[in-house]
Amino acid sequence: MFHKEGHKIILITLFIVVLAIFIIDGFISIEWLRKSLMLLVLVFFVLILQFFRNPKRLTHANENQALSPVDGKVVVIEEVFEKEVFNDKRIQVSVFMSPLNVHVTRYPTSGKVTYSKYHPGKYLVAWHPKASEENERTTVVIENESFGKVLYRQIAGALAKRIVNYAKVDTSARQGNDSGFIKFGSRVDLFLPLDADIKVTLDQKVKGGESVIAEIK
């Protein structure tokens, strides 16, 4: 199953791959080179398919838990001052996505979307300290009965050239449902209340819509 954001790119890539194979077959006479180039083209197509895959996830909805918004590796767990929305201290948990991860963003909690904003910006590598403030990004806040307001931020990386955000103010968010997509690598920051009980550790691999990031005490 492939994400809808990838349908157009997959079709265009398929056309290019088929065309490339015909050209290689018609103009490259050296056997080993012809087969190597064909294999390289096919590998490229498989990588595109893998990037836009959208596997089903079994989300166990729980008002007292915040789930990981994306697949990837936990790279930051720290207390920070969040200045865009809250202007106070929060616990930040950041998940980095490699190009091989599923890039669907999912709602970490259920609730009402109270804030949703797009910020144009740079394309620094996703793990750069200033990426969350200077890169292209979107910020979404969900008001949840247990956690209060939870903020998550999609951040573009060096390869990501488009962030898709489905969250709209005053709409309902359902935990685990698709909330966006980041094309070609990036990270997501999750900002939680200081009394949240963090359930992950640095370098831990997590799955969007399934892995528990935190519970409310």
- How many Å apart are CA 217 and CA 197, to the nearest integer? 6
Residue 102's pLDDT band (boundaries 50, 70, 90)? confident
Residues marked active site are found at: 186
What integer pLDDT is reported at residue 174 of this predicted model?
A: 95
Full-model pTM: 0.83
Segment among 121-125, 142-146, 165-169, 195-199 with least mean pLDDT: 121-125
* CB distance 57 to 210 below 8 Å: yes
CA–CA gap between residue 26 and residue 135 (Å, rounded): 44
Percent of the chain with pLDDT over 70: 90
CA angle at 102 for the pair 97 and 104, rounded to the nearest 5°: 95
Q: What is the pLDDT at residue 159?
A: 60
